[in-house]
Amino acid sequence: MAFTTGPGGSGTPGGSTTPGPSGTPGGAEESTRADRRRGMQAERIRRPRMLDLTAEPVTPRRATAEAEVALSQETLSAIVDGTNPKGDVLSVAELAGVMGGKRTSELIPLCHPIPLTDLLVRATPDRAAGVIRIQSEAATTGPADVDMEALTAVAIAALTVYDMIKEMEPGAVVRSARVTSRSGGEAEWRRPMEPSDATRPPRGARIAGRIVNPAVRTGPPGRPTGHR
């Protein structure tokens, strides 16, 4: 039997080794390349990464957030009267909130480190609602919003309230941690007022020796915008 050499290969009976469909040496190579490309694409989709803020404008930015800790009237009285075994619940919670807000980028993996220019945390007893209301306001001048810093601050403050009173009331509930407003950057956004807000004390009302100064939360509904 005679062996001939075709264009693209030699040593095969009357043929060549040009790439063929899947299952032949050439087809297997093409299939491997396609699988590799798909794998790289999937890897790019799945890989966690920080957003690139290089082109974002450096502008003043501000955000507010709030959270609640639901408590019994007995526990609220102990907090207000200063008879809680661990001491001043409200002051410790406010300080913890400030400390936590400043370390947001260390706690949330893909948050950018932000040089805060202001961070205020308030913890206020509300006997009528049976809660400690926690509110924060964060500010910076930079390319990234500060909603995560405001939200982290109220979350840490709320957890601190729980830690301070857990011996008295282990069933206390931390709830409703949420951003209430954001300004600066591309657009402003405020959370619409909710029906439960109508039961809250008016702005400037005095409760348990403290001035209640809730964050303004009225405004048209909108979709949050931001860079993080």
Q: What is the pLDDT of residue 33?
A: 74
CATH number assigned to the domain covering 59-211: 3.30.70.640
DSSP state, residue 28: H
Catalytic: which of 81, 126, 163, 197? Answer: 163
List, in order, residues 6 or more apart from 24 with CB less than 8 Å away: none
The answer on pLDDT for 126 being more than 50 is yes
Q: What is the mean pLDDT of residues 30-50?
A: 72
pLDDT digits (tens, 9 = 90+) for 137-183: 999 999 999 999 999 999 999 999 999 999 999 999 999 999 999 99
From the list 125, 120, 93, the residue with the least C-alpha distance to 201 is 125
Q: Which two tokens stand for residue 88?
A: 């001043």
Q: Is the pTM of this model over 0.85?
A: no
Query: What is the domain partition of the chain in residue ranges?
Result: 59-211
pLDDT digits (tens, 9 = 90+) for 70-118: 999 999 999 999 999 999 999 999 999 999 999 999 999 999 999 999 9
- Split at pLDDT 50, 70, 90, the class of 224 is very low
Average pLDDT over the chain, rounded to whole?
79
Active site residue 118: no
- Split at pLDDT 50, 70, 90, the class of 25 is low
Q: Which two tokens stand for residue 187?
A: 């657009």
- Split at pLDDT 50, 70, 90, the class of 39 is low
DSSP state, residue 141: E
